């Protein structure tokens, strides 16, 4: 794994516009700087991809599913994750019915061959974004780079996302109509959902969009669209912990509506899962020791660790402590539900940038990767997306 500096294409914004990639730069409330960053790319060997990322991802995902099977039968585990009691039945029922999942992203700390195994930092199992740019735009970048001779001939990419998303949606699409919901005025969320709508159309499904705010609930238990029509299956880019905290969240368990991601994903998108995984498989090469903040066993981590809220996003409220001193901290609104403390696996630095690998799962299979660079040791919403290749 190495970082290769390269000149960005002068016309990449035109390429992005033609491809419908409209959230390629940060909001001007920041500085409008590019989120998509092709001033460099990362090059991997095939062995690094297959042995160090793909297979560990498959193994970790299987371990996560084993944890869900255990959690739904043990209310003490669900309570430890700060999941409200009224949500237990919805989570249990969705797992026992075998409600299918679409996708997820495991975030890994990995620095390349010879640096030790990839370590799981968290599982974005419920509402992961960075999907369109992972599945499509970095592939278009690869094709264009090969066509122009900007990349070594024979370069490839670990990226089967698009094909697997279409196939998975065809497999789980139910009666043929899948409603997609997100906040309509959030560009990244709307872009992610628009891409999945396109995948659903390619899978032969009807794929209408519905703003989250427009979803209704009828007295017969159905969640309904703006016209009052029942929603049979709803993809929602809206996290389960928010749904369970909303007044209508109590209706999920009895509702005939089915959800993507299903309620059981609430167990995996919770960082408390990390402590349970470590308890299930202590010493696993791809796990870091982790403990709940109120567990005296956390002392085993010594004076270097990362403290994370059970529910949080984009690095908010994460604290990094190294040798007893605060090395980094990001403020935010999370933490009321509690924290987990995880062993420190610092992100590798390349040319001064901190690189985080996102390893995608579609259904139950690894499907590709994305890579984000941050200026600090905590990956935040200011991290940039950098494409990758597999060396020829």
DSSP 156: B
Cα distances (Å, whole numbers) of residue 61 to 132, 166, 361:
22, 20, 8
pLDDT band at residue 297, thresholds of 50, 70 and 90?
very high
What is the spatial distance between Cα 1 and Cα 4, in angstroms, rounded to a whole number? 10
For residue 381, the tally of other CB atoms under 10 A from its CB is 16
What is the structure's pLDDT at 79? 97
What is the structure's pLDDT at 175? 79
- The stretch 310-323 carries a mean pLDDT of 92
pLDDT at 32 over 80: no
Whether 306 contacts 320, CB under 8 Å = yes
Share of the chain above pLDDT 70, in %: 99
What is the structure's pLDDT at 29? 59
For residue 189, the tally of other CB atoms under 10 A from its CB is 19
Share of the chain above pLDDT 90, in %: 93
- The stretch 168-175 carries a mean pLDDT of 90
Report pLDDT digits (tens) over 59-83: 999 999 999 999 999 999 999 999 9
pLDDT at 166 over 90: yes
Among 21-25, 138-142, 175-179, which range has the highest average pLDDT?
138-142
What is the structure's pLDDT at 313? 82
For residue 232, the tally of other CB atoms under 10 A from its CB is 16
Cα distances (Å, whole numbers) of residue 361 to 160, 246, 340:
10, 28, 24
What is the structure's pLDDT at 50? 98
* Closest alpha carbon to 194 in 175, 212, 181: 181
14: exposed, middle or buried (Cβ count in 10 Å: 0-12, 13-18, 19+)? exposed
Report pLDDT digits (tens) over 326-378: 999 999 998 899 999 999 999 999 999 999 999 999 999 999 999 999 999 99
Which residues have CB under 8 Å from 110's CB, separation 6+? 1, 52, 53, 117, 118, 119, 348, 357
Give the 3-state secondary structure of 72-139. CCCHHHHHHCCCCHHHHHHHHHHHHHCCCCCEEEEEEECCCCCCCCCEEEEEECCCCCCHHHHHHHHH
pLDDT band at residue 9, thresholds of 50, 70 and 90?
very high
Q: What share of the chain is helix, strand, coil (3-state, %, to 5)?
A: 35, 25, 40
What is the spatial distance between Cα 100 and Cα 95, in angstroms, rounded to a whole number? 9
**What backbone phi and psi angles, to 5 degrees, belong to 174?**
65, -130
Mean predicted lDDT score pLDDT of the chain: 96
In this structure, what token pair is assigned to residue 122?
Answer: 């968290």
What is the spatial distance between Cα 287 and Cα 120, in angstroms, rounded to a whole number? 5
Can you give the length of the chain in residues?
392
What is the structure's pLDDT at 28? 62
């Amino acid at each position: 794994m190495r970082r290769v500096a390269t000149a960005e294409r002068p016309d990449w914004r035109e390429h992005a516009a033609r491809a419908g990639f409209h959230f390629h730069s940060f909001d001007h409330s920041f500085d409008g700087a590019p989120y998509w960053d092709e001033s460099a790319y990362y090059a991997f060997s095939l062995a690094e991809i297959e042995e160090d990322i793909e297979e560990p991802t498959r193994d970790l995902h299987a371990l996560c599913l084993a944890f869900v099977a255990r959690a739904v039968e043990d209310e003490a585990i669900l309570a430890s994750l700060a999941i409200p009691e009224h949500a237990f039945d919805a989570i249990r029922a969705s797992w026992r019915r075998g409600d299918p999942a679409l996708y997820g992203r495991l975030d890994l700390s990995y620095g390349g061959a010879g640096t030790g195994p990839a370590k799981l930092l968290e599982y974005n199992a419920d509402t992961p974004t960075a999907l369109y740019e992972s599945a499509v735009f970095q592939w278009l970048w690869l094709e264009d780079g090969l066509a122009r001779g900007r990349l070594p001939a024979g370069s490839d990419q670990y990226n089967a996302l698009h094909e697997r998303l279409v196939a998975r949606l065809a497999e789980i699409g139910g009666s043929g109509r899948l409603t997609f919901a997100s906040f309509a005025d959030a560009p990244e969320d709307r872009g992610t959902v628009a891409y999945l709508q396109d995948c659903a159309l390619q899978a032969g499904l009807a794929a209408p969009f519905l703003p989250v705010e427009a979803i209704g609930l009828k007295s017969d238990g159905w969640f309904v669209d703006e016209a009052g029509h029942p929603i049979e299956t709803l993809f929602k880019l809206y996290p389960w912990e928010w749904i369970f905290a909303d007044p209508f969240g109590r209706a999920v368990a009895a509702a005939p509506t089915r959800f993507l991601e299903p309620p059981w994903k609430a167990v995996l998108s919770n960082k408390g899962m990390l402590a349970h995984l470590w308890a299930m498989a202590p010493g696993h090469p791809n796990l870091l020791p982790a403990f709940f903040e109120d567990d005296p066993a956390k002392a085993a981590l010594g004076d270097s660790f990362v403290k994370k809220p059970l529910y949080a996003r984009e690095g908010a409220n994460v604290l990094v402590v190294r040798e007893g001193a605060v090395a980094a901290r990001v403020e935010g609104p999370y933490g009321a539900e509690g924290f987990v403390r995880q062993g420190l696996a610092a992100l590798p630095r390349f040319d001064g940038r901190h690189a985080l690998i996102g390893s995608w799962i579609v259904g139950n299979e690894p499907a590709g990767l994305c890579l984000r660079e941050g200026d600090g040791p905590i990956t935040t919403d200011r991290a940039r997306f950098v494409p990758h290749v597999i060396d020829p």
